[in-house]
A and B are shown apart, each in its own frame.
Chain A
């Protein structure tokens, strides 16, 4: 019996002006699996995630979440579907007008109707899970280092115990030690929650740690897909170029 995919892009196309970014993209992620989406800059990795989140509309094709096409869902129903989704943005995207705990508890307070006292307690618990001390809760995002902002963003993504997590370049701009800690945290949280995860990354170390599977996006389609452990033996030239860091021979 086949397992229903948690998330699936089916024949998705997206064009900006004359530039075709996605060209009939087919990609599926099974429940509980962690997929890293690799690709050169400008190949549509972020667009792929934004289409799944409804932050952009596809020109063609559909995106299925738990088997339901969410491409044309009304905004209100689409927002309701976000209840089971967490997202860590590349720059953290923390609200700089709110203290860290309110950032983490934002969904609880504003969408789920949780009282502020309980929301704060849950936010502090989530911060502890990402190794941030309770005193960080009352600081503002501008008072945190880049690594701490990523952790706070991760706490915000996991506080509602989502079944699907997205990570957009989770280690970009971090030193190797902090990046390693973030990778471990992501792997730990994804495993603990038993959720499905889709990550965009250029960082091969990160891909190996956080992903079960890796897919390479190029020319608007998936050109290679395999287990993270297969990366070393992949014979696709683009994957080899990513592994060795050498320029791709066109």
Chain B
């Protein structure tokens, strides 16, 4: 029979175990990230792999990110028109759309779309390679999987997302412009002039910095969960889901932190 101290200390022990496991997981991710960064920054590099990942992560994500950006910009303009009209906000529609897209919605939505499309694909591909001994085979062929598989994905995701965000910013603002043209008959030239006059370089830059961080998170979560996939097809499925969910949560959490740092009075 359990003693009184065991009964009383049971929940504390369980809490301690949970905290220890959480810290161990953070340690594993941090170690993996450190090794990935070291592999990305030091030779040998595999240019064909890096190029292939740029195509996969960046170029092939353009349609989905572009569509998301347009609809988001358009919806934002609609909301400003219908909701913001109560305090005359529709007169500053171009400015609000530009600020919302460049600082927040552009990087976050592009990152979330990529978390769904890219982090999951990375996790499933690397996980399947683990399950079928392809990663082991690579080691026996004198090739470091961290350099051949992980580093190109981290590089491509970290650089592609800011570029995609820049495109997202432009398309999102264009979406807002189109809606404002039909709703309040604002001429596109005036819309663009208002936008350019209002936004600062920092509005765009802060969004691009965020996008770089989000891109790294997407690459890291995709590679980490794929590399740690265990248990065949089921394990690969679990890794895919974990990669997508953890990337999305970390993107939103780091968005708040970065916005706190970037916020200027």
Q: Which residues of A contact B (CB under 8 A)?
A: 50, 53-55, 75, 79-80, 82-83, 85-87, 89-91, 93-97, 106-107, 110-112, 156
Contact = CB atoms under 8 A, between A and B. Distances in A.
B142 A83 contact: yes
A110 B141 contact: yes
B250 interface: no
B129 to A, nearest CB: 8
A50 B46 CA distance: 26
Contacts, number: 58
B142 A93 contact: no
A93 B133 CA distance: 5
B139 interface: yes
B26 interface: no
Given A110-B46, A110-B148, A79 B133 contact: no
B136 to A, nearest CB: 5
B182 to A, nearest CB: 46
Interface of B: 46, 125, 129, 132-134, 136-144, 148
Given A53-B136, A82-B139, 15 more contacts: A50-B136, A55-B136, A82-B140, A82-B141, A87-B137, A87-B140, A93-B134, A93-B137, A95-B129, A95-B137, A97-B125, A106-B143, A107-B143, A111-B141, A156-B141
A82 B145 CA distance: 14
Given A110-B46, A110-B148, A79 B134 contact: no
A25 to B, nearest CB: 20
Nearest to B52: A97
14 contacts: A53-B139, A54-B139, A79-B142, A79-B143, A89-B133, A93-B132, A93-B134, A93-B137, A94-B134, A94-B137, A95-B134, A106-B141, A107-B143, A110-B142
